[in-house]
Amino acid sequence: MQRILVIQTAFIGDVVLATSLLESLHQHFPKVKLDMLVRGGNEGLLKNHPYLNKVWVWNKKQEKYRNLFRLIKAIRSEHFDLVVNVQRYWSTGLLTALSGSKQTVGFNKNPLSFLFTHEIEHRFDASHEINRNHQLIDEWVGTDVAKPALYPSEADFEKVKVLKSGPYVCMAPSSVWFTKQWPKQKWVDLINLIPDTFQVFLLGAPSDQQLCEEIQHKSKHAQVQNLSGQLSFLESAALMKHATMNYVNDSAPMHFASAMDAPVTAIYCSTIPSFGYGPLSRHKHIIEVEEKLLCRPCGLHGKKACPKSHFHCAEKIEAQRVLATSIPTA
Q: What is the CATH number of the domain that holds 120?
A: 3.40.50.2000
Please report, as a single letter, which amino acid is at residue 301: H
pLDDT digits (tens, 9 = 90+) for 79-121: 999 999 999 999 999 999 999 999 999 999 999 999 999 999 9
Answer yes or no: do 125 and 32 share one domain: yes
CB distance 198 to 328 below 8 Å: yes
Answer yes or no: do 163 and 222 share one domain: yes
CB distance 271 to 302 below 8 Å: yes
pTM to 2 decimals? 0.96
Query: What does the pLDDT read at residue 125?
Result: 87
Answer yes or no: do 228 and 185 share one domain: yes
Cα-Cα-Cα-Cα torsion 314, 273, 181, 245, nearest 10 degrees, comes to: 100
Sheet (strand 168-172) strand order: 224-226, 199-202, 168-172, 245-249, 264-267, 284-287
Answer yes or no: do 61 and 39 share one domain: yes
How far apart CA 307 and CA 174 sit, in angstroms, is 19
For the chain, 330 residues long, give each residue's pLDDT as a single digit of tens: 899 999 999 999 999 999 999 999 999 999 999 999 999 999 999 999 999 999 999 999 999 999 999 999 999 999 999 999 999 999 999 999 999 999 999 999 999 999 999 999 998 888 999 999 999 999 999 999 999 999 999 999 999 999 999 999 999 999 999 999 999 999 999 999 999 999 999 999 999 999 999 999 999 999 999 999 999 999 999 999 999 999 999 999 999 999 999 999 999 999 999 999 999 999 999 999 999 999 999 998 899 999 999 999 999 999 999 998 776 554
Cis? peptide before 183, omega within 30° of 0: no
Tell me which of 109, 141, 173 is where a domain ends.
Answer: 141
How far apart CA 256 and CA 11 sit, in angstroms, is 13
Domain presence at residue 146: no
CB distance 4 to 34 below 8 Å: yes
Q: How many CB atoms lie within 10 A of CB 265?
A: 24
Domain presence at residue 148: no
Answer yes or no: do 180 and 291 share one domain: yes
Q: Look up the domain containing 211 and give its range.
A: 154-324
The residues, any chain, with a CB within 8 Å of residue 30's CB and separated by 6 or more, are none
How far apart CA 224 and CA 267 sit, in angstroms, is 20
| DSSP secondary structure letter of residue 268 | P
- What are the DSSP calls for 117-185, one per residue? SEEE----SSS-HHHHHHGGGHHHH-SPPPPP-----HHHHHHHHTT-SS-EEEEE---SSGGGS--HH
Domain presence at residue 305: yes
Query: What does the pLDDT read at residue 327?
Result: 61
Domain presence at residue 149: no
- What are the DSSP calls for 293-316, one per residue? -TT----SS--SS-TTSS-HHHHT
Answer yes or no: do 136 and 200 share one domain: no
How far apart CA 251 and CA 177 sit, in angstroms, is 9
pLDDT digits (tens, 9 = 90+) for 151-201: 999 999 999 999 999 999 999 999 999 999 999 999 999 999 999 999 999
> What is the torsional sign of CA 235, 246, 165, 242?
negative
Helix (H, G, I), strand (E, B) or coil at 100: coil
The residues, any chain, with a CB within 8 Å of residue 20's CB and separated by 6 or more, are 130, 133, 134, 145, 146, 147, 148, 149
CB distance 173 to 249 below 8 Å: yes
Query: What does the pLDDT read at residue 300?
Result: 87
Total domain count for the chain?
Answer: 2
- What are the DSSP calls for 20-66, one per residue? HHHHHHHHH-TTSEEEEEEETT-GGGGTT-TTEEEEEEE--SSSHHH
Tell me which of 90, 117, 141 is where a domain ends.
Answer: 141
Answer yes or no: do 243 and 319 share one domain: yes
CB distance 1 to 78 below 8 Å: no
Rounded to 5°, the CA angle 210-158-220 comes to: 35
